[in-house]
Chain A
């Protein structure tokens, strides 16, 4: 067969051989890295959370702090992953740079985070996506049935059942084939972003006075007030809510924890690194930076537009009074999307906004399913656990059994999220377990260039700054970001972590569900147990697991 690959240039000469193919575009990995912090959902949860919980918060500063942490963590993950482009994320990176027992523990920590997130995002699907969407459309169409459905589906047990149905459906799609899942992912993401952009343009083209007028018209049937906009501000003032726009820097730093909860996962494509050929190139890290730019760029733009059109004072006030049913009598919580829907009450427009907003929900749940599947795969590939656990279906080439197990395993997490009296506890526990991994990967990034010199030198991560490997700087940065995040969550109970603010000993010696440190310790101990049991079992078969993690010296 004729080929153009031998075409010469002055830079290199290539010959006919297998392997010269153009790989998946960086944009695919960028989308994947945006998914853990879907802008639409993070806007709905984080912004409205911090506006009321932390008076004087500067949301822009929170996002910048989170973006810096995310940048530092992504650097450590990205540079290490470029050297070891294998599926399994932190397990692969830590096992090869530090110790496999710590790596299994880290995998369990991130797995716990994913399962907890699967629970609360599953419940959120009904609670903040489908329910409000039905209510929004019901209000626009003047349909009490739709409004009633919206209220019902957002309450127990429907929220849990919807979440489970969503997880089961996603598992089915993933079991059908990764290719089909990727198509679903692409279209859901595209629809979600189109809705996001349309919402942004709506805000951009609406003046403050126009919004107030529209909102008052929209709210009047429920509040029976001619000027609901200022009524809510007055009521918030009377309730003692701080509506000042002067920044309280202490509260701003603490509130950044709420954004860190969702915004420091732009390295998630390392879970698929072995399946993306370009993961061995600088495009691996660049895809994370792309994800970071899309995530934080879109959130920053949307916040600026919300402040511009709706006003920071009103956003804070309405969020604060929404907890008081005697004052806030509207059928929908004041999420950003429901506020935008108040501008144009055309039913089709509202339905479009609602449906595109709902598209984010399965995406963020899907990303949580990917992590435990890939981690167990990596363990099985290293023979830490039986290979049968990650058995691939001959027909679909997907781990059908494993996907089924994870779907079923999500049930207790959905139940816990749906029936808890402290919803934020699960977000808090899901967040806190991520920080040790950032620290461990950071240590790994510092040590790797010296421990495994040949692999480092041969990689595209072999870049130095002032004579020191760039990885070392990002390793230090990842450790700092991990410790900073852990400190915020362990120190400040406002973020919702059980036991936060107590002494570290108190937080450690409690049950894992009642303290973040206890959960971290439990996961790490479980990781060590799994690894050493696996090692002993494999030794009995003549397999030495420790050989998996060695680098052969070339000289």
Chain B
């Protein structure tokens, strides 16, 4: 039966399954799921494509009577003992935010800091948590033989790279070409310019130049995977709502005005180099797979606030690639 004729070949031993996810934005439960993905999906390579850290710190303030309180989901949450406090912190972490035990006085002090100093304080909270994540990854991946590549995205601080490098079972890949199982992966976590002036952004010509420089280290583009945080421009992987100067969605007819916001440099690089596949994140609301020439471009999107990790299984076989979106 023609429908099943490639079954035997497809299940052959030489196929390599890679699991890709990105944009988990500080959601601890998603990091744990990412680390467990090889067990469920039988993947040999893990790639975290950037925007790993969160955006919000929730102060959990100790009150005079010894209890703790925080504002979460628009309501006041209280913890009367250590067990309840653990539970509260778990809920905060589970929603992509960082819990921070503190006092009213310290909250007032941080609120009064200049923006630059407040960003530094925020970064220290993030890096502490991320350090714990790396330790967890080292524990879980020890002895499994699984290659785990982690790359910061445009929203992540530069210092995240140092944390990744401290891991023993986690490999840094940003601005590098790495090899696995006869394939190469070219990675770059920077994005083009965004309205938010996030920590790792480049102009389009700078972005192109970096990809171009890295591409010279790739021996065979037909066995190369691009891991570029920002998707190519106008590729259906990059459709997002247009924002005005106040970060409000531009609505036309009560509908958000959707526009392509990807990188022209990334598109140009893909068109020129035609790698086997190209993995992207950055635009949460635009999950899609699309071909640019022979290159299969993939953005699994992100639903990080739902506690479910949007990812993609990429099966590599010689110069062929098959993808499967999975939300775990």
Contacts and interface: CB of A to CB of B under 8 A. Distances in A.
Interface of A: 1-3, 5-6, 8-25, 27-28, 31, 82-86, 96, 178-180, 182-186, 274-275, 277, 280, 381-383, 387, 392, 397, 454-460, 533, 536-544, 547-548, 550-555
Given A397-B239, A454-B29, A541-B10, A15 B253 contact: no
Nearest to A538: B324
Interface string B49-79: 0010001111101000000001101000000
Contact of A179 (B51, B97, B110, B252): B252
Contacts of B56: 12-15
B307 A21 contact: no
Contacts of A459: 306-307
A488 B203 CA distance: 64
B15 interface: yes
A58 B94 CA distance: 49
B322 A542 contact: yes
A84 B308 CA distance: 8
Contact of A6 (B7, B29, B118): B118
Nearest to B243: A21
A1 B197 contact: yes
A24 B197 CA distance: 23
Contacts of B239: 397
Given A3-B196, A454-B33, A548-B327, 5 more contacts: A9-B111, A20-B55, A275-B285, A547-B324, A553-B36
B307 A455 contact: yes
Interface residues of B, number: 85
B18 to A, nearest CB: 13
A11 B197 CA distance: 24
A25 B195 CA distance: 22
A532 to B, nearest CB: 12
A85 B118 CA distance: 33
Contacts of A381: 287, 325
Given A277-B285, A542-B315, A542-B317, A21 B248 contact: yes
A13 B196 contact: no
Contacts of B255: 24, 28, 178-179, 182-183
A11 B253 contact: no
A454 B248 contact: no
Contacts of B115: 6
B36 A552 contact: yes
B142 interface: no
Contacts of A178: 255, 258
A3 B122 CA distance: 16
B95 interface: yes
B196 A542 contact: no
Nearest to B95: A458
A22 B3 CA distance: 47
Given A179-B258, A383-B324, A457-B307, A24 B251 contact: yes
B94 A8 contact: no
A550 B15 contact: no
Contact of A183 (B253, B256, B325): B253
A277 B251 CA distance: 14
A182 B249 CA distance: 15
B214 to A, nearest CB: 23
A542 B252 CA distance: 43
A13 B308 contact: no
24 contacts: A3-B197, A8-B111, A12-B59, A12-B71, A16-B119, A17-B155, A20-B196, A24-B255, A179-B253, A182-B254, A454-B33, A455-B308, A456-B307, A458-B308, A460-B73, A539-B10, A540-B5, A540-B6, A540-B7, A542-B15, A542-B315, A550-B40, A552-B40, A552-B309
B326 interface: yes
Contacts of A457: 94, 307
B212 interface: no
A85 B57 contact: no
Give the one of A3, A274, A275, A554 with max B CB within 10 A.
A554
Contacts of B118: 6, 8, 13, 15
Contacts of B4: 536-537, 539-540
Contacts of B287: 381
Nearest to B253: A183
B236 interface: yes
Contact of B196 (A8, A17, A27, A387): A17
A83 B303 CA distance: 10
B293 interface: no
Give the one of B33, B55, B73 with max A CB within 10 A.
B55
A183 B251 CA distance: 10
A29 B248 CA distance: 18
A184 B306 CA distance: 32
A253 B104 CA distance: 59
B3 A536 contact: yes
A456 B256 CA distance: 29
Given A21-B243, A182-B255, A554 B32 contact: yes
Contacts of B199: 16
A554 B253 contact: no
Interface string B14-26: 0100000000010
A186 B58 CA distance: 39
A18 B29 contact: no
Given A387-B289, A459-B306, A542 B11 contact: yes
Contacts of A28: 254-255
A85 B6 contact: no
Contacts of B94: 457-458
Given A397-B239, A554-B33, A15 B7 contact: no
A539 B322 CA distance: 11
A59 B271 CA distance: 64
B122 A15 contact: yes
Give the one of B36, B51, B95, B115 with max A CB within 10 A.
B115
Nearest to B53: A17
B260 to A, nearest CB: 9
Contact of B29 (A24, A392, A554): A554
Nearest to A387: B289
A181 to B, nearest CB: 8
Given A179-B255, A540-B6, A458 B248 contact: no
A19 B25 contact: yes
B36 A554 contact: yes
Contacts of A20: 55, 196, 247
B241 interface: yes
B155 A18 contact: yes
Contacts of A1: 195-197
3 residue pairs, one from A and one from B, having the closest CB atoms: A458-B307, A183-B253, A182-B255
